[in-house]
Chains A and B, each alone.
Chain A
Amino acid sequence: MRGTNVTQISELSESHTIAVLVDNEAGVLGRVIGLFSGRGYNIESLTVSEVDHRERLSRINIVTTGTPMVIEQIKAQLGRLVPIHRVRDLTSDGPSVQRELALVKVASTGERRVESLRIADIFRARVVDSTNESFVFEIVGKTGKLDAFIRLMEPLGLIDVSRTGVAAISRGMDSL
């Protein structure tokens, strides 16, 4: 007979990107964040912005990790919040595109400065600000690519990073 309890089902944590369509009203982000902190769920990345100005709807993209049962709980708990219209798991409901933007400031001179430019070129990062002793690079891509770029910049004078968090959307015809 198969086991019926939570812990036997799976102990393996997975990362999921969840998209949520909400009424853009006061406190709605607080409800979502409070749900995650109150119930001990992880937030690895969270982005929020109004996507329909006429209907005043915002889209929240959340990257979270948990066992399959916890991920199911997160989706059910989100679905229960009154101002939430839709909850969609972009990781399990078919393929999706995920992008993040980072602004990366590197302060260096001489060979290290040249090297930072060379790596930026490989990663297709753009220079959006420069002084004699610094660059600000803009890089867009998957989280892993941004992580790699930032790691490479560390020995080359990295002094500041600003990241947007993940924006995600399903591939193909369907919409949230």
Chain B
Amino acid sequence: MLQQRMTGAEIVLKALVDQGVEVVFGYPGGAVLPLYDAIFKQNRIRHILTRHEQAAVHAAEGYARSTGKVGVVLVTSGPGATNAVTGLLDALLDSVPLVCLSGQVPTQLIGTDAFQEADTTGITRPCTKHNYLVKDVETLAGVMHEAFHVARTGRPGPVVVDLPKNVQVAEGTYIQAEQVRHKSYRPPVKGDATQIEKAVALMASAKRPVFYCGGGVVNSGPAACAALADLVHATGYPITLTLQGLGAFPASDSQFLGMLGMHGTYEANLAMHGCDVMVAIGARFDDRVTGKIDGFAPNAQIIHVDVDAASINKNVHSDIAIIGDAGSVIADMRVVWEAQGYRPDAEALTQWWRQIDTWRARKCLAFGASDTVIKPQLAIKRLHELSKHLDTYITTEVGQHQMWAAQHFPFDQPQHWMTSGGLGTMGYGFPSALGVQIAHPESLVVCIAGEASFMMNMQEIATAVQYQLPVKVFILNNCYMGMVRQWQELLHGSRYSESHTEALPDIVKLADAFGATGMVVSNPAELDATITRMIETPGPVLVDVRVDPFENCFPMIPSGATHDNMLLGELVGGRGPAVTEAGKGLV
């Protein structure tokens, strides 16, 4: 085979092209100038200049989550790399495949406290699935291909490749991806057949079953989601989804109970609490989902399917564990269900659904009506109504608005919902939306934001304007860090310590200053017209939706409580138990 000699920077670019990369989100600096020069000299890969490295990572996350591809980031050494850290951890906790290339000082200066030197592999080790420091250009092509392989397979995650400047200019040999075989990394795919048979037999014997599925199904791909729907329909069992799983099963389907967990629905949480068989697929029993662990699903036998062996028996003991890719295991389960001629216990299932319907009848997501002030839940419902004829992607920031979006904006398809769940990163939503829009230029991309979160990465308006990305930022402005205020109301005697968002900018003028369009609405009667105008206005639009500042997000399982101890909104039966002293110490 002909050996191709090229510079390190050229090797990086060629590896990106060979890996199918079309776009890189980044920010230049001294330690990556050779890479930026290589970008300048080619036209296969598009570079999107964000205004902050954290935003570059979130944009790459939005791109990755809405396409299933690996998102790519390029940052300089030192401050460039440290600015990327929050995004990397965000991607790690939400299992988003990324490759982040960072510049590094030349190898001979490493360890000397050189200008803009940071121990990037050291700093990012606990924030990545894996990382590399490339000291020899001859290993560069292999590392690049390996990085993509590690990022996208198994449980996906971010991978950092740290590139000293001298390696970028040194000449080396390019090798193809097919020539690289990792020495030790072997992610599981197929689940154990005997375990699957045991699991399906247990499923068939269930009297009060529930499917509890998460982001692992979405990550496994649209085919896995279709297979899930098929299995759920074949059994007739109820299904609940985690925050990251929304869209993995159609929200409009009658078997869907809504999201579960801290702000999940009454019916989903009580079904979890009362079930006798739980089928957990691609979900990790996070504390926001389980509530008080000692009282979690007290009568359940648990089947847990996960591609990550470390997720099994981490927080909750499972009775049947299956390590494998969600899509593959679901398909195998379906085959066993059919082959064994299993039928659900019809009588028990009818009773179970009757019970669930009484819980549904509480209408736990109901909220008050007002003709003087916009209710944030209403704003989201209207946004859905007025955009459902379009291919709509939603990203969110973090706070009450995020939970209301999860509750009130239904998703029938996967990969249309991007939110920071594991890390809960304010400032995620807006740059993430830019990445989604890059991937789907013809679609409607809306970031449902809180005014406080938006300000954490609002410099990205410039990015949106530069590339004319028609992202719509739908700011539910309650003049509070609403989620903080809600906790202070419930736990700290309504002492609103530092949670009022003072000195907010005028959103319309702000948009104008950047060359975007701004709108403001406070009258419920004008809400629909404003949303329609937002959708129809070309280019980036910021909408300041002035909502009820004292609305709280219910249902809520307070810290330290179990699924059957939910706080409900005043409309639907009001307050549950008070938060315990022990609960106050929990996050």
Contacts and interface: CB of A to CB of B under 8 A. Distances in A.
Contacts, number: 71
B184 A5 contact: no
Contacts of A22: 184
A148 B163 CA distance: 51
A124 B131 CA distance: 47
A27 B121 contact: yes
Contact of A69 (B121, B131, B298, B313): B313
Given A1-B299, A4-B298, A80-B309, A27 B183 contact: no
A160 B183 CA distance: 42
Contact of B183 (A6, A23, A69, A72): A23
A100 B451 CA distance: 60
B1 interface: no
B133 interface: yes
Residue among A7, A8, A22, A80 facing the most chain B CB atoms (10 A cut-off): A80
Contact of A4 (B296, B310, B314): B296
Given A4-B317, A9-B317, A69-B317, A30 B310 contact: no
Interface stretch (B122-130, B377-385, B522-530): B122-130
Contact of A82 (B122, B184, B308, B309): B184
A38 interface: yes
Interface size class of B (residues with CB under 8 A): 20 to 34
Interface in B342-391: none
Interface in B288-303: 293-294, 296-302
Interface in A43-102: 69, 72-73, 76-77, 79-80, 82-85
Contact of B316 (A4, A30, A31, A38): A4
Nearest to B309: A76
Contacts of B129: 82
A4 B302 contact: yes
Contacts of A3: 298, 317
B434 interface: no
Given A1-B298, A4-B297, A6-B293, A80 B308 contact: yes
Contacts of A69: 313, 317
Interface in B185-233: 185
Nearest to B126: A38
Interface in A147-161: none
Nearest to A73: B314
B306 to A, nearest CB: 10
A80 B133 contact: no
B270 interface: no
Contacts of B314: 73, 76
B126 to A, nearest CB: 5
Contacts of A6: 293, 313, 315-317
B317 A80 contact: no
Contacts of B315: 6
B514 to A, nearest CB: 40
B298 A76 contact: no
A7 B314 CA distance: 11
B141 interface: no
Contacts of B185: 82-83
B310 A77 contact: yes
* Closest 6 A/B residue pairs (Cβ): A76-B310, A82-B130, A85-B184, A76-B309, A1-B299, A77-B310
Given A7-B293, A73-B314, A82-B182, 7 more contacts: A4-B319, A6-B313, A6-B315, A22-B184, A30-B122, A82-B130, A84-B184
